[in-house]
Amino acid sequence: MIGKTISHYKILEKLGSGCMGTVYKAKDTKLDRFVALKFLPLHLNQAEEEKKRFVFEAKAASAIQHHNICTIHEIDETDDGQIFICMDYYEGQALDLKIKQGPLLLNEVLDIALQIAGGLEKAHQKEIVHRDIKPGNIFITGDQVVKILDFGLAKLRGRTTLTREQTTLGTVFYMSPVQSQGERVDPRSDIWSLGVILYEMIAGERPFSGDYDQAVIYSIMNEQPEPLTGLRTGIPRELERIVDKCL
């Protein structure tokens, strides 16, 4: 794929991949700018349900205009039928990498959390639930602007789900109790996930743990996280209360 030109985009390098696609850095030869192209995995290209979910990502994200949400420019298809989304390319790092470097300063925590909350508020106003809020989907640019990525699991409230009954989507450590049980979610599920991110940014560890998915889900459903004030000194009680409220 590297070096190929698709439509008017020249593929430069691979940025990453996940269950819903592979992302490349590309040069927009018409507008002379860098963009990110996300391709549906080849083995899923013929799966109608996955195609629908991928197209839905573009439509859902493009419906939201907010500086804390990744901008979607277009959706297109290659000559051999592979669907891709063109979106903004950002310099910086994902929040999961930043957390791995150690607990964040409190002013950083608050700044990042407020920006995530602002983006989610806008999405929820549009009746869009992200359903996969996690540090890997939060990108921080070089200018310290937070961008929420990957609305591939989003769904409009009140619309028919694109997933099979009893199928759960999301990353288990950040999955709300309702979502982990395969039940219908609403904006509160995203707020719960934000609470997990807040906890992890402050404490440097996740509030719920386990060696395999079902153990994590058991922890989420049955256990109380260690109080933040017991894990780190100097945490304001009000901040701990807000995190507890999210969870």
pLDDT given for residue 144 in this prediction: 96
Residue 59 has pLDDT above 90, yes or no: no
Q: Give 185-206 pLDDT, tens digit per residue.
A: 899 999 999 999 999 999 999 9
Q: Which domains does the chain have, with CATH numbers?
A: 5-88 (3.30.200.20), 93-246 (1.10.510.10)
pLDDT digits (tens, 9 = 90+) for 100-152: 998 899 999 999 999 999 999 999 998 889 988 999 999 999 999 999 998 76
> Quick one: pLDDT at residue 152?
62
The number of angstroms, rounded, from the C-alpha of 117 to the middle of its chain's C-alpha atoms is: 13
40/57 Cα distance (integer angstroms): 11
Residue 15 has pLDDT above 60, yes or no: yes
Predicted pLDDT of residue 43: 66
pTM of this prediction exceeds 0.85: yes
Gap between the Cα atoms of 45 and 26, Å rounded: 21
Residue 169 has pLDDT above 70, yes or no: no
Cβ(11)–Cβ(1) under 8 Å? yes
pLDDT band at 154; cut points 50, 70, 90: low
pLDDT of residue 96: 94
Whole-angstrom distance, CA of residue 223 vs CA of residue 142: 37
Q: Which residues are catalytic?
A: 132
- State how far the Cα of 210 lies from the Cα of 198, in Å rounded to an integer: 19
User: Which of 1-10, 148-157, 207-216 is predicted with the least confidence, judged by mean pLDDT?
Assistant: 148-157
Q: Quickly list H helices, 88-152.
A: 95-100, 106-125
Lowest mean pLDDT across 54-58, 62-66, 93-97, 230-234: 54-58
